Structure 1
């Protein structure tokens, strides 16, 4: 059995994986969760580790890959000249191990700011001020230390209103 790389249409990795699985191919679509700003709020967004690519396992001598090209969400099988690009089993096993580690929560729950980071407030009553990130109060709010009236004061601000200071 050989692992091949499939090039997909934009944002269609999961559709292509589902369709290829239905055709009997063993597939691997490594995913990653990142904390991103979506419509002004920090959210965990899950996406492909390799955008527009996924892996399928085939028996090249006995199993045809012609059906892969006409699969919904697929553009083509990645090739070098006329030969499909292959991926060693060791690489696939490594990707699976890393995927399992990420799903265990080792990095997926990281906040965009860490205690001690210099941050700037972009909106709200303290807009334009800089401070030091102290801690997350809950999913949407954070405690900051800002200089007001000659001393450090703790204020609680919505996470969406703060960003890295420049």
Structure 2
């Protein structure tokens, strides 16, 4: 009997790039295959000629997140709708746990968010939301013409989401 236990390799979050408009199907297929996956959805009001309807759509188009060991990514390519795994310097890019947590907080309060373009951002200071529905969110603070905005960034995807909050709801992270 050996007292030494093998070292367990950690599981990480990875971004899976999907076919256009296939995010929900890929998410379902990943769950059916037993993977821990996450699809951040936002609620939008869509206007048709005869009615308005609330529709859930992906917060980040063409991406689903999956938590696996790096070697566990190979079978994911066989799931219909999966195009590739997001890579950085030729290796699968790891999405930080804090970024996934931020996306979860955003999706729980999706009606107060909107997507902003990366080019409109300036470097700011990191802040944490300490009050309100986005409590716990870690983001970048920007002030623009009297509006106090918080930008949530998913670094691996170069994706940004903007939230306007009262100044009293955020605190500077040292």
User: TM-score normalized by structure 1?
Assistant: 0.57
Count of residues in Structure 1 that have an aligned counterpart in Structure 2: 103
The offset of 1:52, in angstroms, is: 0.6
Other-structure match for 2:66: 56
SS in 2 for 1:64: helix
Structure 1 residues 2 and 38: alpha-carbon distance in aligned structure 2, compared to 1, 3 A threshold: same
C-alpha distance in structure 2 between counterparts of 1:12 and 1:34, whole Å: 18
Structure 1: segments with no counterpart, 5+ residues = 109-166
C-alpha distance in structure 2 between counterparts of 1:18 and 1:65, whole Å: 17
1:19 aligns with 2:64: no
The offset of 1:80, in angstroms, is: 1.8
Structure 1 residues 85 and 39: alpha-carbon distance in aligned structure 2, compared to 1, 3 A threshold: farther
Other-structure match for 1:95: 103
Which has a greater percent of helix? 2
The offset of 1:81, in angstroms, is: 3.4
Greater C-alpha Rg = 1
Structure 2: segments with no counterpart, 5+ residues = 1-10, 114-174
C-alpha distance in structure 2 between counterparts of 1:40 and 1:21, whole Å: 36
Structure 1 residues 39 and 78: alpha-carbon distance in aligned structure 2, compared to 1, 3 A threshold: farther
Other-structure match for 1:72: 80
